[in-house]
Amino acid sequence: MEENNDKKPLRKLEELGEFGLIDYLTRDLVILNDTTVKGVGDDAAVLKTPRGHFQLASSDMMVENVHFDLTYFPLKHLGYKLAVINFSDIYAMNGYARQLLVDIAVSNRFTLEALEEFYTGLKIAAQRYGVDIVGGDTVSSQKGMILAGTALGHVKKDRVVYRSGARAHDLLVVTGDLGAAYAGLLVLLREKETFLANPRHQPDLTPYAYVVERQLKPEARKDVIEWLEQNDVIPTCMIDISDGLSSEVIHLTEASGKGAVIYEEKIPIARETAAVMEEFRIHPLTAALNGGEDYELLFGISQKDYEKIKDVPGFHIIGHFTEDPGAYLVTKANQQIELKAQGWNAFLERRRNPEKSEGNNDTNSKDEHKD
């Protein structure tokens, strides 16, 4: 699971015990934010909220063999991803992530070195995004690895953005490109099957580097929040794309009591993503609408801000909000199809197999878009 070139024996977790483990993993943490008054090492972290700001808090869980598979997921990347998906929720409020608490449950099949790899990934993400790791819990599980992160942050009171603020005629903007993380997952799952059939198989993932990285090492759009602040733009509503464009559009429309129309031709899908989806004979739009895990931002913008955003690289105006409820996709063939709340049904694990759920979502069908 991790390299051990020095041939030192890997250490078992019980050698350290709970307190020793936390001390060891957090021994080199450096506090980056002056809002972190006290980090790891007491009953609770102590934080300041700058005057005129709200505090933000969000929590996300990741379960082995549900959200990740350690046969292809390096532990360092896993730590990075746990951190980033939690930061993403703070950015989705138009705020900045500042602190992270991390809960880890692991079985005794994990070594100290394995947990250290995981923590290294956490620390790299924390450093990169300017976030302090300030606490958490480390416990044993009977089976597998279960992770929970809680991100804390803050936002100026007059800049907080909810899901619920969309108004009719606001423009609907999405950042980056969609569906890549799902395409990467498909590639990794195929490699795993190949490997299980032939353990000597040496995968060459070079042609898939972009999509695989989007799956294994996603980034959150702190840069977008910075751009919005510097350019004095406040979205009317915002959400991060963790479950696929379809359900996020629906979340915004339902929370705002409005409707929306998006246009297939405007939905940004990277060439690499489209190529992978073609290989798998799934329409690329399916990955964008229902794949999830892109961690891009989706937001509403007042028409008055159109000039400011229209030429920003990586900002894509994909549609607009409407007074009448309902969320619709207009296809390239000019058909209007209602988006269905696919989301991620945690208990059917549909996210990992969106192509299997065509019956539940009109926009899922590959044939439909082949004209």
Task: Look at residue 323 and give its three-state secondary structure.
Answer: coil
CA 304 – CA 322 distance, rounded (Å): 16
Q: Strands, E, within 180-273: which ranges?
A: 237-240, 259-263
Nearer to its own copies, 226 or 278 (CB): 226
CA 245 – CA 298 distance, rounded (Å): 8
- Among 173, 161, 318, 295, which residue's Cα sits nearest to residue 240? 295
Structure tokens at 117: 């790899």
What's the closest the beta carbon of residue 116 comes to its own copies, in angstroms? 15
Is 37 an interacting residue with respect to its own copies (CB under 8 A)?
yes
Is 43 an interacting residue with respect to its own copies (CB under 8 A)?
yes
What's the closest the beta carbon of residue 150 comes to its own copies, in angstroms? 4
335-357 in b/e form (b: 16+ CB < 10 A) is eebebbbbbbeeeeebbbebbeb
Nearer to its own copies, 141 or 302 (CB): 141
- Among 198, 98, 189, 188, which residue's Cα sits nearest to residue 150? 98
Q: Which one of residues 13, 125, 133, 178 is an interface residue with its own copies (CB under 8 A)?
A: 13
Type of residue numbered 284 = P
Hey, which residues between 349 and 368 contact its own copies (CB under 8 A)? 349
Hey, which residues between 85 and 104 contact its own copies (CB under 8 A)? 89-90, 92-93, 95, 99, 101-104
Beta bridge partners of residue 60, listed in sequence order: 149
Is 109 an interacting residue with respect to its own copies (CB under 8 A)?
no
Nearer to its own copies, 123 or 163 (CB): 163
Hey, which residues between 258 and 317 contact its own copies (CB under 8 A)? none
Is 32 an interacting residue with respect to its own copies (CB under 8 A)?
no
Is 240 an interacting residue with respect to its own copies (CB under 8 A)?
yes
Nearer to its own copies, 252 or 269 (CB): 252
Q: Which one of residues 10, 14, 130, 338 is an interface residue with its own copies (CB under 8 A)?
A: 14
Is 55 an interacting residue with respect to its own copies (CB under 8 A)?
yes
Q: Which one of residues 141, 331, 335, 365 is an interface residue with its own copies (CB under 8 A)?
A: 141
What's the closest the beta carbon of residue 367 comes to its own copies, in angstroms? 26
Hey, which residues between 178 and 237 contact its own copies (CB under 8 A)? none
Side by side, the strands of the sheet bearing 297-301 are: 237-240, 297-301, 171-175, 315-322, 259-263, 326-330, 336-338
